Each structure stands twice: as C-alpha cells, then as structure tokens.
Amino acid sequence: MCEYCGCQSLASIDELTREHDEVVRLISHLRPAHRDGDVDRMAQVAREIATVLGPHTQVEEHGLFPAMAGGFPEQIAALEAEHRRIEAVLVEAADGGTPPDPPWPDRLLEAMAMLRDHILKEQDGVFPAALANLSTEEWEAVEAERLKAGGALSRPTA
C-alpha cells in the first residue's frame, strides 16, 4: 500500500504491511461470497483472516503499540478498541462452522470495512510515526515480539 516514507525498509514494518496486504486480498473474497449467499465461504475466509491477524495483532499490541502509546495514547487506544470489535465478529466463525446468527454476514462485511480503514490508519499514520519516533531498543522489542508471535506468512528470502 504505502511506500513513500521508507518505513517498509524495516523488517518489522514490512512484515506487518505484507500481512495487511494479505488481509485486504482475503477481504476481496467476501463480497462475492455474500452476493452468492455463501455463508460457509464467508466463514472460511473469516478464519483465514483471523489466522493472519492473530500474530499480527500480537506484534502490534505487545510490541509496536506499547512503544507508541506514550506519544499517541488516544490513537493507540482507538486502534486497540477496533481490534476488539473486529475480533468479536471473526471469532464467531472460529470453531470451523458457519455462524448461525442470520445477521452475521452483514456484521462481517461491516467489520471488514472497519478493518480496511484501520489498515490505512496504521500504514499512513502509525508506521511512519513509529519510523520517526521509536528507538533502536524499541524496534528490537517489536522484533522480539514477532519472534514470539510467529506469523502466518513466510518471510521473503533476501
């Protein structure tokens, strides 16, 4: 998505950005499934999105966000609240089945619209701000959190 500030030159931000790109790609499968009334497919895509977001969110909330919270407390709190709202909809499909709640497909589309906006806030706001404000030690803490969290995507080879 964004390449203007150079933040993707950091492995931590590059990986978070690649996960965002994968989530956006997955989200693109939801509207056709919704249009076709294929709630099973929507649930499958929701689980795929959750698989990518699990480690991604851990890195943000236990690595990047704590380092940013001192300078941007309201913004970080808002992003964490959005994580909770998005997760609440995705978890309904987590058991491998199709959520029985008839409004769930519409709630999923709404949550994914929020997620797309959320991604833009991170890529256009948080990531460039982190590049400008975090110390080497804070970046090392973010990378340590990534090592703990793992990731759903393979890392590119150099």
pTM of the model: 0.90
Distance CA 123, CA 118 (A): 9
pLDDT for 53-85, tens place per residue? 999 999 999 999 999 999 999 999 999 999 999
pLDDT value, residue 124: 94
Task: Give residue 37's region: left, alpha or beta (phi > 0; psi -120 to 50).
Answer: left
Find all residues with CB under 8 Å of 31, minimum gap 6, and list them.
109
Radius of gyration of the CA atoms of the chain, in A: 16
CA distance 132 to 9: 13
